[in-house]
């Protein structure tokens, strides 16, 4: 069983569209994250949720809206996609948010044309 699974693996879409990426973890963790890895391979945190509550919200455009229906799921919805949104998005989870190791999903490669 995959610990942190995200779908889809690849997402190709046009500018201006709205898309969602789903993430689920079966580890019983309390905290989930979204990270973005750009073309230069820098990995930056976007959001962190602890027990469905937003903990970290880095400087991310309002077009990005995370949704956590329960603590095992953290979905990322992106409105009005722009070329600069093209990147690999990684979901991750940890037991708590405090110095615990992160378990990452395999990533969603988003290409905006």
Partner 1 sequence: DAKTTQPNSMESNEEEPVHLPCNHSTISGTDYIHWYRQLPSQGPEYVIHGLTSNVNNRMASLAIAEDRKSSTLILHRATLRDAAVYYCILSGNYGGSQGNLIFGKGTKLSVKP
The residue ranges that bind partner 1 (CB under 8 A) are: 4, 31, 35, 41-45, 48, 50, 55-56, 58, 90, 92, 94, 96-107
User: For residues 14 and 99, which CB has a smaller minimum distance to partner 1 in the complex?
Assistant: 99
Q: Which is nearer to partner 1, 75 or 94 (CB)?
A: 94
Q: How far apart are CA 101 and CA 38, in angstroms?
A: 22
Q: What is the smallest separation between the CB atom of 32 and partner 1, expressed in angstroms?
A: 12
Is residue 99 reached through a cis peptide bond, with omega within 30 degrees of 0 on the bond before it? no
Nearer to partner 1, 50 or 75 (CB): 50
Residue closer to partner 1 (CB basis): 52 or 104: 104
Distance from chain centroid for Cα 12: 16
Partners of residue 3 on adjacent β-strands? none
Could you tell me the smallest distance in angstroms from the CB atom of residue 104 to partner 1? 3
CA 45 vs CA 1, 17, 90: distances in Å: 25, 23, 9
Token readout for 15 is: 């500018």
Report the nearest approach of partner 1 to the CB of residue 23 (Å): 11
């Amino acid at each position: 069983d995959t610990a942190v699974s995200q779908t889809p693996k690849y997402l190709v879409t046009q500018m201006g569209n709205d898309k969602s990426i789903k993430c689920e973890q079966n580890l019983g963790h309390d905290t989930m994250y979204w990270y973005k890895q750009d073309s230069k391979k820098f990995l930056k945190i976007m959001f962190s949720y602890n027990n469905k509550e937003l903990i970290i919200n880095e400087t991310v455009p309002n077009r990005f809206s995370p949704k956590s229906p329960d603590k095992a799921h953290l979905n990322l919805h992106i409105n009005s996609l722009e070329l600069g949104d093209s990147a690999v998005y990684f979901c991750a989870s940890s037991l708590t948010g405090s110095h615990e190791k992160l378990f990452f999903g395999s990533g969603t490669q988003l290409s905006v044309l």
